[in-house]
Structure 1
């Protein structure tokens, strides 16, 4: 598996730290870990990652879906929603961003490994 550069957008610090630790154990690099949509857009523009792991409920004015819409409008970087909010209304709203995947919380290392393998296959030449 190729090393990926991943941005974590998560308002719960413990969850963000755990996700970052899992990514590092799997051999990936965390380019940024931010808690708001506004900070995510700023970090994304500074250092474009290969993948964005995005929570839906965030600090700040923008939620994860609104943030993903801006990211996807400006780039083809895959966005994966990792959220406890997986009801049909939320999924429908999130579908407008063309997410790479939608994974319910809590995210475990097995699911993250499978996701990263899938990402490697999707971007292979």
Structure 2
């Protein structure tokens, strides 16, 4: 991890300097220390760190969790929360912003290094996942497959099948396997056109050719329908 730039947001200078010593003795580059929200933003803007170590309880009206929200919104960098506070409310707020790691005071040198390693790994995994997520644009879905981003017209999609953490999009001519869950894909699709007939299937309503109490037919394929879904599906079709 030699050369990785780390920003430290900590208002207790003894702790901040301890972190600096640990990091610099392990080939990291400390690009600055900030004590509050505004100074932290200046530090990030001016030095562009690769990762930020962020104390939850910093001085000022806005705390470290407020800063984490700002980092999530405007900066594409990982952050690790530093805290000695474990009350339920603080934990809940901290969890909601999805930090890449935690460092609990008091800490040892190894704790700091492990927290950074885990955070950078989590960040990398998140970036890869975001690249693989399907993108909806007008009447088409763009999906990542075989190192290419492929355009699939929505009208060509017959159904989408769940396969664990993967999903399979079936069109007339081809199948596409995506590293996205069915729930993630469902959230991107037009609910007036696509319907989740079963926990493992989303169907294109325009491709339906028959329905009974146990299955729906899409291009002569029988796909299961959940018992609690049949009534809702019939209501949806009656409104089309």
Same fold, TM-score > 0.5, yes or no = yes
SS at match of 2:31: strand
Q: Name the one with the larger helix percent.
A: 1
Contact 1:8 1:32 in 2 (8 A): yes
Larger radius of gyration: 2
Q: Counterparts of 1:55-94 in structure 2 under 5 Å?
A: 55-94=55-94
CA spacing shift, 1:87–1:21, aligned 2, 3 Å: same
Deviations 1:24-54 (A, max 9, x none): 0111011110111110011111121111101
Alignment length (residue pairs): 125
Runs of 4+ in 1 over 3 A off after TM superposition: 119-125
Q: Name the one with the larger strand percent.
A: 2
What RMSD, in angstroms, separates the aligned Cα atoms of the two structures?
1.8
| TM-score of the two chains, using structure 1 as the length reference | 0.90
For residues 114 and 31 of structure 1, the distance between their equivalents in structure 2, rounded to whole angstroms, comes to 20
For residues 119 and 68 of structure 2, the distance between their equivalents in structure 1, rounded to whole angstroms, comes to 17
| TM-score of the two chains, using structure 2 as the length reference | 0.49
> Which blocks of at least 5 consecutive residues in structure 1 are unaligned?
none
For residues 38 and 97 of structure 2, the distance between their equivalents in structure 1, rounded to whole angstroms, comes to 17
Greater RCO (Cα-Cα under 8 Å, separation 6 or more): 1
